[in-house]
Amino acid sequence: MKTNYSTKNEKELLLEMLLRLDVIIDILSRANKKSADSLGYLDTPDLLKQLHISRKTAATWVRKKLLRAAKVGGKLYYSISDISEMMHSHFERH
């Protein structure tokens, strides 16, 4: 559906509102990420980035029960303390 704008000003206002919405979404996204981190959890992208591992490696660890994952809202979260414990137990064995 094509919208006709009666004035250029209306189009500019709409674009400005969309830009503000993008900023709000970005701020909320970062706030949500910080709250998960501050609670002691990493989501999958953060886990992969922090440990320099592939998605397949993370999935293997979960499948082999080396690392627990909690699914919340369609996203997997990993406890930082569980990650630390897994890493320490690995180093103790080798």
Q: How many Cα atoms sit within 13 Å of 26 on the Cβ side?
A: 6
Higher pLDDT, 78 or 40: 78
Q: What residue ranges do the domains of the chain occupy?
A: 7-39, 40-94
Question: Is the CA virtual torsion 48, 34, 38, 79 positive or negative?
Answer: negative
pLDDT at 27 over 80: no
State residue 36's pLDDT score: 64
d(CA 2, CA 86): 56
d(CA 11, CA 72): 39
Class of domain 40-94: mainly alpha
The pLDDT-based confidence of 34 (bands split at 50, 70, 90) is: low
- 35-71 pLDDT, tens digit per residue, is 666 678 889 999 999 899 999 999 999 999 999 999 9
